[in-house]
Amino acid sequence: MGERRLLAAMVTAALLVSCDQSSVPRQHQQTGEDPKVIKPDVIYGSDDRRDLYEVQNPLLLDLAASTVALMQSRDLQRQTDGSYKIQSMQFGSAYGLCRSEPYFEQKIAAFCSGFLVAPDAIATAGHCIRSASDCRNTKFVFGFAVTAPGIQTESVDETQVYSCVDIIQSDVGNGGRDYSVVRLDRPVMGRPVLELRRQGTIADEQELVVIGHPAGLPVKVAGGAKVRSVSAEFFSANLDTYGGNSGSAVFNAQTGEVEGILVRGETDFQSRGGCRVSYQCSDSGCRGEDVTKISYVVEALQTSGGGGGGEPETYQVSFAGPVPIPDNQPQGVVAQVEADRAPEGRRVLAHVKIDHSWRGDLRVSLTAPDGTEVLLHNRSGGSKDDINGTFGADLESAEDLAPLSAVSATGTWTLRVSDHARRDVGSIQSFQLQFAP
């Protein structure tokens, strides 16, 4: 944590390495049939938002890496190479903005933001994910960012796209609290779980940083904000955010800990001469932006066993390939992981990435340490390529996975992949085994 205390001193310089931008945008209200997003936000004083390529502080970059964009499932189209094409709109055109608005040409796709609070759990605003339907129809996309000037994010690798399998806890209360914690279909690899404030409460005038997707734009990092007032369930601050930032993590600029979740605020835009501009306030003006205290998320994780001092209920072990799959050899090849815990009633999920043309050639099975075997894939899919997803979540298993949940033995779990026809070949790229509540 000592290293993170450098954040306050470095944040201003890290965020101001880019050219000057004096105007500003705000608010992403979902259009059409999914009015999920309450209006949050506005610009206070100067616009402190920066694209990822403009940020040089490695600590801020780490925090941004664990920020996720919430997108409608229908806005992601699976491509033949396994990536997802993002259906997006131009920011300026979608909102009827004046040409002077920053980020006018950038594409918008997110309806809310979120952040990683456990290996397989995301926190966001409660009004972003309220129901099982919201859970089913939302994808969680990491890496929606501008990493070089003028380069738009039009697609993302399949490894950066996650699904919601369960709402751990969600609440939009009368006292100002507004949060959801959701379970993902698999653990997030290569991105750090964020540190959360676990004791005490934030102080007035504390300096803050917010990271999220204002108005659905690629991720933005914004410092230069301070706490204005603190209430029982939330605090208010002069954060530069918009709708789409709903669900963003708000960080303590001194410690790097998450202090809360951005949930609501000022109107984002106002009309001017036939187009719209960002609504601007002085640093001490307007109502401020409201942030639900992170203590609610900490409590939700503790209750579910997903973090916060207890033994996590979700357990995961991984195998990294590649392992070539021999052509037309029924004995196949294996990928094995050692589990020092047993499912003992928990759901067993198997996330696989198998690159292979004509997946109808393949059989895939999973065998537990006690010999219990389940057939996951039995030569289905015909001429389609590859098997990439999670059996027990987004992939339907050929046989019921329930017998694996009853396993009480620890030890070696074996994924076996075999090819039963000539010509097409491939490899096991990765395999993750998860025991989930």
Which positions ≥6 away from 371 have C-beta within 8 Å?
A: none
Least confident of 40-44, 173-177, 389-393: 40-44
pLDDT at 174 over 70: yes
Query: 355: helix, coil or strand?
Result: strand
Q: Which residues contact 274 (CB under 8 A, 6 or more apart)?
A: none
Same domain (yes/no): 321, 223? no
Strand partners, 139: 71, 163
| pLDDT of 45 higher than 70 | no
The per-residue pLDDT for range 3-19, each reduced to its tens digit, is 444 344 444 444 433 33
Contact 297, 117 (CB under 8 A): yes
* Same domain? 258 vs 364: no
Whether residues 175 and 290 fall in one domain: yes
Residue 40 to residues 67, 115, 283, 288, Cα–Cα distance (Å): 18, 17, 16, 10
- 14 in any annotated domain: yes
- Output the pLDDT for position 268: 60
Choice between 387 and 266, residue whose per-residue pLDDT is larger: 387
Report yes or no on 80 lying in a domain: yes
For residues 325 and 266, membership in a common domain is answered with: no
Angle at 394 between CA 393 and CA 397, to 5 degrees: 70
Q: Residue 244 is which amino acid?
A: G
Domain end (from 245, 269, 304): 304
User: 24-28, 146-150, 298-302, 330-334 — which is least confidently predicted?
Assistant: 24-28
Residues 6+ apart with CB under 8 A from 364: 352, 354, 375, 376, 377, 387, 415, 416, 417
Residue 309 located in a structural domain:
no
Cα–Cα nearest to 287, from 241, 247, 223: 241
**Is the confidence at residue 282, as pLDDT, over 90?**
no
Residue 226 lies in a domain: yes
pLDDT tier, 311 (very low <50, low <70, confident <90, very high otherwise): very low
Host domain of residue 404: 315-436
| pLDDT tens per residue, range 391-416 | 888 788 999 999 999 999 999 999 99
User: CATH number for the domain including 79?
Assistant: 2.40.10.120
Q: In 92-219, where do the E strands start and end? A: 107-108, 112-118, 121-124, 138-142, 155-156, 161-172, 178-184, 207-212
Residue 23, pLDDT > 70, answer no
**Structural domain includes residue 252:** yes
Residues 199 and 325 in one domain: no
Cα(8)–Cα(325) distance, rounded to whole angstroms?
51
Q: Got the DSSP string for 369-380?
A: TTS-EEEEEES-
Residue 175 CB neighbours (<10 A): 9
Residues 284 and 322 in one domain: no
383 pLDDT band (50/70/90 cuts)?
confident
Is position 184 within any domain? yes
The mean pLDDT of 139-146, rounded to a whole number, is 96
Report the domain count for the chain. Answer: 2
Percent of residues, the chain, with pLDDT higher than 70: 82
Asked if 223 and 248 sit in the same domain, the reply is yes
Q: What is the CA radius of gyration of the chain?
A: 23
Task: Give the pairing type, strands 67-72 and 138-142.
Answer: antiparallel
| Strand pairing category for 280-281 and 43-44 | parallel
CA distance linking residue 217 with residue 146, whole number of Å = 9
Same domain, 257 and 392: no
User: For the chain, how many residues are written?
Assistant: 437
Of 44, 57, 65, nearest to 15 by C-alpha is 57
**Model confidence pLDDT, tens digit, residues 313-331:** 678 788 877 899 998 888 8
Residues 392 and 264 both lie in one domain? no
Residues 36 and 157 in one domain: yes
Residues 257-277: tens digit of each pLDDT: 999 999 986 556 678 778 988
* Lowest-pLDDT choice from 144-153, 202-211, 238-247: 238-247
pLDDT of residue 219: 96
- For the full predicted model, state whether its pTM sits above 0.85: no
Q: How many angstroms separate the CA atoms of 167 and 313, rounded?
A: 15
Mean pLDDT value across residues 24-45: 33
CA 282 – CA 48 distance, rounded (Å): 13
Would the pLDDT of 33 be above 50? no
Position 98 pLDDT exceeds 60 = yes
CATH number at residue 329: 2.60.120.260
Residues forming a β-bridge with 417: 333, 364
What's the confidence (pLDDT) of residue 81? Answer: 83
DSSP 8-state assignment for residue 94: H
pLDDT digits (tens, 9 = 90+) for 223-236: 888 898 999 999 98
Residue that terminates a domain, selected from 304, 339, 371 = 304
Residue at which a domain ends, from 304, 326, 349:
304
Residue 120 contacts residue 188 (beta carbons within 8 Å): yes
Same structural domain for residues 200 and 322? no
In a domain, 310, yes or no: no
The verdict on 13 and 117 lying in the same domain is yes
Residue with the larger pLDDT of the pair 429 and 113: 113
